[in-house]
Structure 1
């Protein structure tokens, strides 16, 4: 077994801090910080995942109200020891070309498209952490028979936890965080069907 590269050793005994990610130019793309530990995307991403993320970005861009933007693959600084990277966020923050992360107050919606290697984090860890940080809306997109299914969560302010707001197949129609209607089946070609 070979030694780890020097940059992989945490700079302090309690681990990594959110601002450390900006100085880790050697780290792989899509490096996240969860509870002070670096999390790397080690396996190649499936085409289904990339297609759903791309099509969601495109679909949301055309429906966003003024003052909102959609960004993909940008981390959110939840606190000093947590800086996850949602697949996409809808944000109220103005575009800044040198931005490397968002603050939770700037995020209206976080979306995770589940991959086999991220399933536990997306379904449980991030569900809790995004709620604790006060992000008002969270979507978890799962694959079912080749098509996307969106599990929608809305923050319950009095308890500070997410309440399930619906499971959407085929179409998604929501009044919050903005009026949105999506044809989910059009995001990817159906199995056995050409096109897309």
Structure 2
């Protein structure tokens, strides 16, 4: 009787599941230029203090309010300005936030491939608060917008048992370079600054 027998393995070794490959930041942090060059970034990725911020799935309220305010602004702003949604605002090398709605000078529009606007060309930034972005929308981003010179800021939230919309309107004080609240609007957003505007906030029930 010759030879030896080698037992065959009864199961094949299973390959380890590969972990998601997240971009590894450079030591000095990401820059706004990286937002256009990093591959496979999720849509609407923001840059705050050199760190990438990924956006979670949004509530229906978020989507409706963006549409409602955008439609109202588009029908109101003068020909010297344009209205956009969720485009990057370049504040500095390490900060490229993405307001939900923004109004920019017409001269800042360069073409259909454009992905960002310089902060100096932004007249109004609007943030619709989401559960995952409360701190950024209420604190981090308003401070950065004001310090960078954006004259007008609106903060939109869902409030009360009936989930109605509330819009807090802010103007930048040229002395303190900080925002001052000039009004809280729940049923209608009726303003004369930065331009005449009248939006029925209760219309979200029909959208």
TM-score, scaled relative to structure 1? 0.91
| Residue in structure 2 matching 1:36, options 26, 46, 50 | 50
| Residue in structure 1 matching 2:65, options 52, 76, 79 | 52
| Residue in structure 1 matching 2:176, options 156, 159, 163 | 159
TM-score, scaled relative to structure 2? 0.86
Equivalent residue, structure 2, for 1:110 = 125
Equivalent residue, structure 1, for 2:39 = 25
User: In 2, Cα distance between the equivalents of 1:127 and 1:55?
Assistant: 21
Residues 72, 198 of structure 2: 8 Å contact kept: no
Q: How many residues are paired up?
A: 187
Once the two structures are superposed, residues 3-42 of structure 1 have per-residue CA deviations (whole angstroms, 9 ceiling, x without a partner) of 452x6111x211101111110231100100000000001x
Please report how far the alpha carbon of residue 95 of structure 1 lies from its aligned counterpart in structure 2 after TM superposition.
Answer: 5.1
RMSD: 1.4
Please report how far the alpha carbon of residue 2 of structure 1 lies from its aligned counterpart in structure 2 after TM superposition.
Answer: 4.9
Aligned pairs for 1:1-196 within 5 A: 2-5=18-21, 8-10=23-25, 12-41=26-55, 43-92=56-105, 93-94=108-109, 96-144=111-159, 145-186=162-203, 188-189=204-205, 195-196=206-207
Structure 1 ranges of 4+ moved more than 6 A: none
From the CA coordinates, give the structure whose radius of gyration is larger. Answer: 2
Residues 72, 197 of structure 2: 8 Å contact kept: no
